[in-house]
Amino acid sequence: MKIAVITGASAGIGREFVYAVDKYDTFDEIWVIARRRERLEELAAKCRNPIRSIALDLSDLGSIDEYKALLEKEQPQIGILVNAAGCGVFGPFEEKELLASARLNSLALTAMCHVSLPYMTSGSSIVNMGSNSAWQPVPYQAVYGASKSYVLSLSRALWRELRPKGIHVMCVCPGWIKTEFQQVAQHDKYIHYVDKWYGPDEVAAQAMKDLGKKKLVSILGHPVRRQVRLVKFLPVKLVMSIWCKQQGIK
């Protein structure tokens, strides 16, 4: 049984990845994973491939054991794994509850890759959701930015390790995406400047196009690409100062 696995599939970028992957290839099933089962079940009517809804909260790392048990029972071949689940909180480090974000963005993603790999073969792919925040430290978004830097580094290393096996790994590093994530992150109090908003459907479409080209990193939009190139050459302190000035933070 050939399957695709997509986390964070109930909304935002994860949901758009379901639609994009559904168009990308033919699968016996697409396994969609998120907390809200009712939102997952809505996907079946909009996809040509069969959908299996799996309600798991991946911020609880015990959920990985449930996913692992399901793999052991079904023994599928995973054609593509998309780790799109993620969350973040904007605001002062000392005032926020941050462990759930760190667990979901970094540890759960790592565990999903590790548990899924035995069921992947040559031609399989892993797509990990990073962020434009992965390229620099981000004050008042410190844990989110650090977790996405981790995802970028992990993805690059796995790309090199798994290349001899024919398994491709790509990290998606978008700029500002208009999704429910922004509401949950409570960004309005701390984020006052956004250069450009992108739609989650645009990001997913570009990612699948880049996956077909076997790119290591997928970046949508010339403004985001310019920023990535720029921060590589500027001193880190200056980059953080520019960010804080843009957001009106002292």
List all residues 6 or more positions away from 203 whose beta carbon is below 8 Å from its beta carbon: 13, 16, 172, 174, 177, 220
pLDDT of residue 247: 73
Per-position pLDDT tens, the chain of length 250: 999 999 999 999 999 999 999 999 999 999 999 999 999 999 999 999 999 999 999 999 999 999 999 999 999 999 999 999 998 777 778 866 788 889 999 999 999 999 999 999 999 999 999 998 898 998 888 999 999 999 999 999 999 999 999 999 999 999 777 765 544 444 555 555 555 667 899 999 999 999 999 999 999 877 778 887 888 888 889 878 877 787 777 7
CA distance 214 to 127: 11
* Tally of residues, the chain: 250
Please report how the helices 109-116 and 142-162 are oriented relative to each other, as an axis angle in degrees rounded to 10.
20
Burial 186-225 (b: 16+ CB within 10 A, else e): ebeebbeeeeeebebebbbbbbbebbeeebebbbbbeebe
CA distance 99 to 60: 11
The residue among 161, 162, 155, 194 whose CA lies nearest residue 178 is: 194
List all residues 6 or more positions away from 231 whose beta carbon is below 8 Å from its beta carbon: 135, 136, 239
List all residues 6 or more positions away from 222 whose beta carbon is below 8 Å from its beta carbon: none
Strand-strand pairing, 29-34 and 51-55? parallel
Q: If you ran DSSP here, which 8-state letter would residue 43 be given?
A: G
CB-CB contact of 205 with 109 (8 Å): no
pLDDT of residue 185: 44
Q: For 56, what's the count of Cα atoms within 13 Å in the CB-facing half-sphere?
A: 27
Give the chain's end-to-end CA distance (angstroms, integer).
Answer: 55
CA distance 158 to 176: 26
Instruction: State the DSSP H helix or E strand holding residue 125, giving kind and residue range, or none if neither.
Output: strand 125-129
